[in-house]
Structure 1
Amino acid sequence: MNCCQQKGSSMKKILLTIDGSNASLDAARFLVRLGFRQAVEIDVVTVIFEPPSQKGFLVDGWSKGWLKRKRDQATRTFEEVQAIFRDSDAELCHLIRNGHPGETIVKLANELQPDLVVVGAKGHSAVARILLGSTSDYVATHVLSSVLVVRPNEGSGRRRHLRVAIGCEPSPPAEMAFEEFTQLGWSIDNDVQVVSVTDRSSVDDSSVDEAAKEYLERIKDRLVEDSRSARARVIHSDHIGDGLVDYIESNQVDLIVVGETSRGGFERLLLGSTTRFVLRHAPSSVLIARGQSMDDVQTEQMVHQTAST
């Protein structure tokens, strides 16, 4: 099977990371449930990590057997992913790379320039909310493409349709999040909610509330072809991130879509405060929409290369 790198193809391109863990397979299953209205190309990447402490014994003949076992395991996992996508209109291919998982995935994503990178997160413990040093956090922070971090959610498996919330406000990042959702062509079977967070003090200012409601209604009307049901909701909170997370928890949202502005230099290392807060604290899966043009991506790559030299 040839890998999905056809130039000029109009098909959406996705980079799905797998490592054999339940989290990565859950990411594949979640992607299938989101569904697509058109065929997609999915590069499934497995990174074989050689810990520094293992470098010594990997120089002898035994290392070949160790690497072969790892590659065989990766192939078996890919076969599981193929079975997950069996009834979908997706073209899959498998890429195996050696190296640091996070760095290798980011490098590959910047080379292939997919429309979306998908990575699974391993749970959401209290410690994880404070320090997210995982591969999924590294990828979400450093990759140039939009990224979907899939977090385990038992409730979503019991529901017929996934519940998707899109954080909306009259700003470029929020518009980007909305456009990202529509352009990726998700299945219309999902329940979509457009949500705007206004300052709690605006409860007494009807003009602010009305303006937010009018904006959300316009956004909702644009979702006619993208969701079987769409709702709009204005919520009040002193902190946008807190408001979104509380809404996700109380409404059992399966996926939150948030936008992020184009990054450069130091900003690449630190996501915007609201985006980062949602990624750290949301119990749902998170799609960070970057919506960068190819010129933006190439500029980011040049900045990154310059910073590395």
Structure 2
Amino acid sequence: MRNVLLAIDGSKPSEETAKFVARLPHFDPVDLTVVSVVHRRFVHASYSTNELIEKAYEQDRANAMKSLERVALLFEGANVQVKTELLEGVVGESIVEKAKEIKADLVVVGATGHSQISRMLLGSISDFVATHAPCSVLVVRPEGLPANGEPLKVCLGYEGTGPCQAALEELMESPWRGQTELNVVLVAACLNEVYADSNCVEHYKKELAGAKEQLEEVSDHVTTHFLEDVHYGEAITRFVETHGINLVVLGETPRSQFSRFLLGSTSQYVLRHVPCSVWITRNRMIEGLKHKRVESSSKTALS
């Protein structure tokens, strides 16, 4: 998390998102680009109507600049180099293009909507960015963040696969000591009478133990959880709700531009159903796949 793009819109939830980013731990200095997007609307109307629209646009620009200044102040004294920029265009597309331009490691956007129905609505800016960004994405739900003085409860969905291990390694790039509780959750969907006498359970428990051992290098509080469920996304969602989780971390396999338009993946399901923030990690899988292509097609980048 060295090159971060934070998108804000001047709203109170947006500034709460910025405050959450300010409290995230990191080992190395961070280059933080804070952007706000103003969308100029064009309509075929009378001169007077267009004049009103232009005045509204200029007011939006002025408000956005003030918001950028307020957010920049939140990072004063931190090990963060802050740049602010006002963008013009369609909001979601502008954020994704800026992430590509600056080669961001992480894009942070806020999400609004407190009810289950509002979380499931498609087409939101946060949903667009999470689906199309070329890097890891953190979608922050301010209403699910811990109050001052309360620990940050993090849940890592883990099963030992490449994307999950990549998510774990990306999580390890930050020091989570102090008031942070890391929960590693493994959901086993194959457990039934056929597997009752096999070593399947033992294999899963070894995966969890290995994940815990790695995370203990950066955290004082790591707890593992072994769940049996036929639906991974539903199991993670129930765990989040019953344990008061503030942040879910999920690994995702990089996909083609076409397949990013297809919905239904675990990360998409969790993003739309959990009441807390979601961090979808992609960077290390992308790096791994590149490494794999360079070295040998017979070797895997992550095991």
Q: Tell me the amino acid that sits aligned with residue 88 of structure 2.
A: N
Q: How does 1:99-114 map to 2 (within 5 A)?
A: 99-114=89-104
The residue number in structure 2 matching 1:161 is 151
Displacement of 1:158? 4.7
Q: Deviations over 1:252-286 (max 9, x none)?
A: 11100001111114211125621111011011100
Contact 2:72 2:84 (8 Å CA) reproduced? no
Q: Using a 3 Å threshold, how does the CA distance of structure 1 residues 112 and 208 change in structure 2: closer, same or farther?
A: same
Q: Percent identity among equivalent residues?
A: 35
Of 264, 280, 295 in structure 2, the residue corresponding to residue 288 of structure 1 is 280
Q: 1:210 deviation in Å?
A: 2.0
Q: Is the 8 A contact 1:153 1:254 kept in 2?
A: no
C-alpha separation in 2, matches of 1:91 and 1:222: 30
Partner of 2:213: 221
**Greater CA drift, 216-225 or 93-102:** 216-225
Per the TM alignment, residue 43 of structure 1 is displaced from its structure 2 partner at its CA by 0.2
Q: Deviations over 1:150-175 (max 9, x none)?
A: 01235612553211111111211111
Aligned to 1:301: none
CA offset digits 1:55-91 (Å, max 9, x no partner) = 8769967666544432221121112212322242211
Checking the alignment, whether the CA contact within 8 Å between 2:144 and 2:277 is kept in structure 1 is: no
Q: Does 1:136 align with 2:130?
A: no
The two structures, once aligned, show a CA RMSD in angstroms of 2.6
Deviates more, 1:269-278 or 1:200-209: 200-209
Q: Which amino acid aligns with 2:184?
A: V
Q: Do structure 1's residue 32 and structure 2's residue 32 form an aligned pair?
A: no
Q: How many residues align?
A: 285
1:242-257 matched pairs, under 5 angstroms: 242-257=234-249
Partner residue of 1:234? 226
Map 1:163-242; keep pairs closer than 5 Å. 163-183=153-173, 185-189=174-178, 190-199=180-189, 201-202=191-192, 204=196, 207-242=199-234
| 1:2-43 Cα shifts (integer Å, max 9, x gaps) | xxxxxxxxx800000011012211211111222223321100
Unaligned runs of 5+ in 1: 1-10, 297-309
Indicate the residue corresponding to 1:302 in structure 2.
none
* Conserved? CA contact 1:209–1:234, under 8 Å: no
Cα distance in structure 1, aligned partners of 2:247 and 2:259 = 25
Asked whether 1:279 is paired with 2:271, we answer yes
Provide the C-alpha distance between the structure 2 equivalents of 1:294 and 1:95, rounded to a whole number of angstroms: 32
Equivalent positions of 1:292-307 (< 5 A) are: 292-293=286-287
- Cα distance change of structure 1 residues 124 and 56 upon mapping to structure 2, 3 Å threshold: farther
Q: Show the counterpart of 1:23.
A: 13
Equivalents in 2 of 1:179, 1:260: separation in Å? Answer: 13
For residues 279 and 45 of structure 2, the distance between their equivalents in structure 1, rounded to whole angstroms, comes to 36
With normalisation by structure 2, the TM-score equals 0.85
Q: 2:78: which partner in 1? A: 88
CA distance in 2, matches of 1:231, 1:146: 24
Q: Is the 8 A contact 1:198 1:234 kept in 2?
A: yes
For each residue in 1:87-132, what CA deviation from the matched residue of structure 2 results, as whole angstroms up to 9, or x when unmatched? 4221111111111100111111111111100000012423324322
Q: Alignment partner of 1:279: what SS? A: helix
Q: Does 1:267 align with 2:259?
A: yes
Structure 2: distance between partners of 1:295 and 1:51: 41
Counterpart amino acid of residue 112 in structure 2: K
Aligned to 1:6: none
User: Deviations for 1:156-204, whole angstroms, at most 9, x for unmatched residues?
Assistant: 1255321111111121111121122123x24433211111001273484
- Once the two structures are overlaid, the 10-residue window that deviates more, 194-203 or 146-155, is 194-203
Secondary structure at 1:165's aligned position in 2? strand
Q: Are the equivalent residues in 2 in contact too, given 1:15–1:117 (CA < 8 A)?
A: yes
